[in-house]
A = this chain, B = another copy of it.
Amino acid sequence: MKNKKIIIVGAGLCGTLLAIRMGQRGFEVHLHEKRPDMRKESVDAGRSINLALSSRGLKALAKAGMEADIRKSCIPMRGRMIHTLEGEQRFSPYSGRADEYINSVSRWGLNVQLLEKADEMENVKLFFNSHCQEVDLEHATATFRNSKTTEIWQDKGAVVIGTDGAGSVVRRSLMGRTTDLLFNYSQNFLRHGYKELTIYPGDGGSHRIEKNALHIWPRGSFMIIALPNLDGSFTVTMFHPFGGDYGFDALTSEEKVKDFFETNFSTLIPHMPHYVEEYFKNPVGSLGTIKCYPWQAYGKALVMGDAAHAIVPFYGQGMNASFEDVRVFDDLMEETGDNWSVLFERFQDMRVDNANAIADLAIDNFHEMQDKVADPTFVKKRQLEMKLEQTFDDYYSKYSLVTFKPDMPYAKAMELGRRQDELLLKMVEGIDVEAIDLNKVMDEISQLHSTPVA
């Protein structure tokens, strides 16, 4: 069993799902989490309250036998509800097909479901308050500090896998080895941050605005979005510049905040009478992209999930990409077994381009969600896409390729999706959507799909 012990650092969504799958395969798993057990103590994860779960994430959960259970905690969001400055609401479905939607899910609730599943398994052992300090890469040995007892101890496995998020300690240990590993790394922050607010439930736990939608109040250089929760509330997120006349750094008084909301989000105010208080209570988070390579060292240590590829939230793919890591890792294991060197190398080489692709797509969508949802050409393109989706079973928009086609790698979805977008934008320019011959469009798109990607 010497080769069978896996140390996982970080019991967030990715790490816990990985622990479950590795447990199901019969490995001895030690799952370490620096925070207390979130099932027993209130934990401020400092992270978003709810998330969008879609096909890639669901496919990974299905492999662990958990899809059906998790779906019970999901609220389908069938499209974007755009709220204009004038108070108009415009619903834009994510797909012309009824079974293609994304799901709002509670980060806490999902993590708890995963932890409970992991905890049931005899060969998976959970360690809370267990804060990784560093990893001895060559010896697959991680040093932990128990944040309650202050005890320092070492846990040695066949391998150490870091699923410890954007601030990963495991990645930091890789990074310290610049010369051996030629470790490439980048972190890039948007000049926008985010702050969470709340729309509380309506009468009898009802949803005060459309339940089955992801709501967007696009306002050019800033926006607000809202995702529904099961209790009738919505988690509202401001994506907002730090600087400038109305940036976070300038909105320092009640008066300024009120003024700003009354000017830009007046239709939201009736749903959040407490917003000024909440504004000053809640912190501002930053939005960063992390890329790195390699993800593994010596066949002994590996990072995955946000630890390897933290992305901005604008494609709703952060959790899905991390769950997909677990699914792909697990798929590869069918061939490699516990030949860790081969497994780790194949995994990183298969995943890195896809992780970079979804990172770039998420940045693109940041601009699209802010600016383009109101752009007439973009709206026409979306209309044309809707018609294509309703008419042709095999038409997929870029968004659908990324969100609803879990068998297509992100990199390919990006490449194809971008070429499709270019084509469609050209087609709708100066033309009424009704006048477009759908069959002709579909022909051109099929040609595009059969052209090899450069």
- Are B189 and A186 interface neighbours, CB within 8 A? no
Find chain B residues with CB under 8 A from A288 CB.
Answer: 178, 182
Question: What interface size band does chain A fall in?
Answer: 10 to 19
Q: Is A260 an interface residue (CB 8 A)?
A: no
Whether A187 contacts B187 by the Cβ 8 Å rule is no
Kindly identify, within residues 287 to 311 of chain A, every residue whose CB is under 8 Å from any CB belonging to chain B.
288
| Contact between chains at A184 and B185 (CB < 8 Å) | no
Instruction: Please give the distance in Å from A402's CB to the nearest CB on chain B.
Output: 25
Given contacts A184-B188, A185-B186, A187-B184, contact A179 B242 (CB under 8 A): no
Assess the B178–A182 pair: CB atoms within 8 A: no
B182 & A185 in contact (Cβ 8 Å cutoff): no
Whether A182 and B242, one on each chain, are in contact in the complex, defined by CB atoms closer than 8 angstroms, is yes
- Find the B residue at minimum CB distance from A284: B179
Contact of A182 among B179, B183, B186, B286 (CB under 8 A): B286
- Tell me the bound Cα distance from A228 to B279 in angstroms: 65
| Interface status of A285 (Cβ within 8 A of chain B) | yes
- Please report which residues of chain A, range 208-254, place their CB below 8 angstroms from some CB of chain B when the two chains form the complex: 242
Q: How far is the CA of A285 from the CA of B179 in the complex (A)?
A: 7
A281 on the interface (CB 8 Å rule)?
A: no
**Which of B178, B185, B189 sits near A183, CB closer than 8 Å?**
B189
A129 → B minimal CB distance (Å): 22
Contact residues of A between 146 and 204, Cβ < 8 Å to B: 178-179, 182-191
Using Cβ atoms and an 8 Å threshold, which residues of chain B touch A242? 182
Quick check: B186 and A186 within 8 Å, CB to CB?
yes
A425-448 at interface with B (beta carbon < 8 Å): none
- Contact (Cβ within 8 A) A191 B182: yes
**What are the residues of chain B within 8 A of A185 when measuring CB–CB?**
185-187
Report B-chain residues with C-beta under 8 Å of the C-beta of A190: 182
**Nearest Cβ on chain B to A176's Cβ, whole angstroms:** 10
How many Å lie between the Cα of A189 and that of B292 in the bound state?
Answer: 11
CA distance A55 to B66 in the complex (A): 66
Establish whether residues B184 and A178, one from each chain, have CB atoms under 8 Å apart when the complex forms.
no
> Which residues of A from 366 to 402 have beta carbons under 8 Å from B?
none
Q: Are B179 and A183 in contact (CB under 8 A)?
A: no
Query: Smallest CB–CB gap between A257 and chain B, Å?
Result: 21
Residues of the B chain whose Cβ atoms lie less than 8 Å from the Cβ of A285: 179
Closest to A175 in B: B187
What sequence of 0s and 1s flags, for each residue 62-78 of chain A, a beta carbon within 8 Å of any chain B beta carbon? 00000000000000000
A285 to B191, CA, bound (A): 36
Contact, CB under 8 Å: A187 / B179 = no
Complex Cα gap A190–B178 (Å): 11
Roughly how many angstroms separate A288 CA and B175 CA in the complex, as a whole number? 13
Kindly provide the distance from the CB of A248 to the nearest chain B CB, expressed in whole angstroms.
Answer: 12
A286 touches B179 (CB 8 A): yes
Q: How far apart sit A163 and B183, CA to CA, in the bound complex (Å)?
A: 23
Q: A182-B286, A184-B187, A186-B187 are in contact. List 7 more A-B contacts (CB 8 A).
A: A178-B187, A178-B288, A179-B286, A182-B189, A183-B189, A185-B185, A185-B187
Closest 4 CB pairs of A and B: A186-B186, A182-B189, A179-B286, A184-B188
Chosen A-B contacts, 25 in total, with CB atoms closer than 8 Å, are A178-B187, A178-B189, A178-B286, A178-B288, A179-B284, A179-B285, A179-B286, A182-B189, A182-B190, A182-B191, A182-B242, A182-B286, A182-B288, A183-B187, A183-B189, A184-B186, A184-B187, A184-B188, A184-B189, A185-B185, A185-B186, A185-B187, A186-B186, A186-B187, A186-B188
